[in-house]
Every structure is written in structure tokens, then in C-alpha cells.
Amino acid sequence: MSATVQQILVGMAVIGALLYLVLRARKKKNCDSGCGCGTKKPLK
């Protein structure tokens, strides 16, 4: 694997993680703590 491909993969992973966290924070849910408190999210 060339160094460039590695760099691109790393960059994508970091940006992906950032995007995931930002989008997740914007999405409204009932209980998004993931603490296992048992509060269910609304079923669709």
C-alpha cells in the first residue's frame, strides 16, 4: 500500500468520525446516552 493511499484512508477515517459525531448530535433522539438506561427510542 502506497503512502498516499494510507494518508487518504486515514484522512477519510478522521473526517468520517467527525461527521458521524456531528450528525449524531444534531439528530434528535429520546435517549442517546447509550448508557443502557432502557429508555427506548421511538419505533418507526
Partner 1 sequence: MAEAPQIFRRIAIAGNPNTGKSTIFNALTGLRQKVGNYPGVTVEKKTGRFFGSHGEAMELLDLPGSYSLQVRSPDEAVSRDVLLGRVPGTPRPDAIIAVLDASNLDRHLYLVAQFLELDIPVIVALNMVDVAEKRGLTIDLLGLKNSLGVPVIPMVASRGQGLIELKQALSRATLQVSDQRAQLPIVLEREVAALSRMLKGHAGSVRSEAMLLLSLEDDRLAAEAKGDSTLLTEIHAARERLKLSGLDPIAAPVDARYAWVSEVCASTVHRQGEDSHGLTFSDHIDQILTHKLWGWLAFVGMMALMFVCIFVVAQAPMDWIRAAMQAVAKWTGAHLPPGDLRSLVVDGVIVGVGNVVVFLPQILILFFFLGLLEDSGYMARAAFIMDRLMSRVGLHGKSFVPLLSSFACAIPGIMATRTIENRNDRFVTILVAPLMSCSARLPVYAIMIALLMPASNVWSKAGVMLCMYLIGVIAAFVMAGLFKKTILRSETPMLLLELPPYRAPVFRGIVQRMWERAVVFIRRAGTVILALSVLLWALLSFPKPTEPDATQSEILSHSIGGRMGHAIEPVIAPLGYDWKIGIGLVASFAAREVFVSTMGQIYNIEDAKEDNEDLRTQMRDERRADGTPVFTPLTCLSIMVFYVLAMQCLSTVAIVRRETNSWRWPLFQIAYMTALAWIGAFVVYQGGHLLGFR
What cell was used for 21?
459525531
Question: Any idea what the Cα angle at residue 7 is, between residues 15 and 22, rounded to 5°?
Answer: 5
Residue with cell 427510542: 41
For partner 1, the binding residues in 14-43 under the rule CB under 8 A are 14, 16-18, 20-21, 24, 30-43
Cβ of residue 28: shortest distance to partner 1, in angstroms?
10
Cβ of residue 31: shortest distance to partner 1, in angstroms?
6
d(CA 40, CA 9): 35
By CB under 8 A, name the binding residues for partner 1. 1, 3, 6-7, 9-10, 13-14, 16-18, 20-21, 24, 30-43
